[in-house]
Amino acid sequence: MTPPFDPAQQQASTVCLPPGNWATVLDCLCDHFKAIERAQWLDRFTRGRVLDAQGRPIAAELPYRRGMRIHYFREVPNERPIPVQETILHVDEHLVVADKPHFLPVTPTGEYVEQTLLRRLIRRLGNPHLVPLHRIDRHTAGLVLFSANPQTRSAYQRLFPERRIDKHYQAIAAALPQHTFPLIHKSRLEHGEPFFRMHEVPGQANSETLAKVLEKNGELWRYGLSPVTGKTHQLRVHMAALGAGICNDPFYPQLIKEDDDYQRPLKLLAQRLCFADPLTGEQRDFQSQLSLDW
């Protein structure tokens, strides 16, 4: 069931109306977003889900004006519930740290809007200013940091591109006795086909991962993975490239087109985040309460 609309607890998408010859804002939006039917846009206008630059609901008959800034709320009709539950590990004036379960997206994308970690936390904490400071993909579980205060957000955002935060993951995959650990794997990653899959290509490396073995259990090993860079699906691609795709990975090394199997999650966990707080200098060390079983 879609929760009641509360503009204070949801984040709107924004569009500046492009040049054209439309009579109304509705006409422009229908033509600009061809995948959304006119009836659906009319319903959004009626329920106050299309706003002007000041956040006030507007009428579908409002005359079109080039460059007008419009806010609207993405919706997915009959959005499918995701039967997993996140855990909030830390809340203060500036930071929120959550343990994300497998299968839950961090932010709205595609067929997921309300069933995302961001929307769930906004509703739970009543803070519409939450913004994720980094991403982990939907299939990965573990720690995600959120900025809770726009005034201090940039200080925390800089931690990632400036590489002032240590990220530690765990993964379970096939044994790799042919390699000597610890090892560093570097490669150039680019988007492939389909677009959401990454692949290694010739050229200067733009991704780097430190891998070590934490535990051996017959044909499966538990690996500690520390990404130096933060490319999409980096750890998943690098492990597949080493010859041990992470257990239950639906994308690598082969694409498996199946519905989510909640009994077979990807064996990848964002387990620990360490950094010096940019505001206080205090050493922060957050650890996931989740674990990967064999």
In order, the DSSP letters of 132-198 are: ESS---TT-EEEEEEE--TTTHHHHHTTTTTT-EEEEEEEEEE--TTS-SSEEEEEEEEE-SSTT-E
**Fold annotation for 7-72:** 3.10.290
What is the sign of the dihedral through the CA atoms of 57, 60, 66 and 71?
A: positive
Contact 193, 250 (CB under 8 A): no
CA distance 21 to 265: 50
Q: Report, in this order, helix, strand and coil percent for the chain, each rounded to 5.
A: 15, 30, 55
- Return the SS3 of 221: strand
Question: What's the rounded Cα separation, in Å, for the pair 199 and 108?
Answer: 24
**Spatial CA neighbour of 145 closest among 274, 292, 231, 290:** 274
- Could you tell me which residues come within 8 angstroms of residue 57 by beta carbon, excluding any fewer than 6 positions away? 45, 48, 49, 50, 51
Query: Could you tell me the two tokens for 246?
Result: 């992470």
Residue-by-residue pLDDT tens, the chain, 294 positions = 334 444 444 566 788 999 999 999 999 999 988 877 888 889 889 888 899 988 889 999 999 999 999 988 777 667 788 999 999 999 999 999 999 999 999 988 767 878 899 989 998 999 989 999 999 999 999 999 999 999 999 999 999 999 999 999 999 999 999 999 999 999 999 998 888 899 999 999 999 999 999 999 999 999 999 999 999 999 999 999 999 999 999 999 999 888 899 999 999 999 999 999 999 999 999 999 999 999
Domain ranges in the chain are 7-72, 87-287
Cβ neighbours for 37, distance < 8 A, ≥ 6 positions apart = none
pLDDT at 4 (0 to 100):
40
Q: If you search the block for the tokens 């956040």, which residue do you land on? A: 55
Which pLDDT value is given to residue 90?
Answer: 98
Tokens 């692949």 appear where? 199
Spatial contact of 134 and 145, defined as CB atoms under 8 Å apart: yes
Decide: residue 146, CB within 10 A, 0-12 exposed, 13-18 middle, 19+ buried: buried
- Tokens 């079109």 belong to residue: 64
> CATH number of the domain at 87-287, please?
3.30.2350.10
- Give the pLDDT confidence score for residue 77 in this predicted structure: 65
Q: What is the pLDDT of residue 232?
A: 93
pLDDT of residue 247: 98
**Among 165, 131, 140, which residue's Cα sits nearest to residue 284?**
165
Contact of 30 with 36, CB cutoff 8 Å: yes
- Give the CA count within 13 Å in the CB-facing half-sphere of 172: 16
What single-letter DSSP state applies at residue 256?
-
Identical fold, 7-72 and 87-287 = no
Which residues on neighbouring strands pair with residue 217, listed in sequence order?
220
Amino acid (1-letter code) at residue 143: L
What's CA 233's distance to the chain center, in Å? 11
Position 205 scores a pLDDT of 97
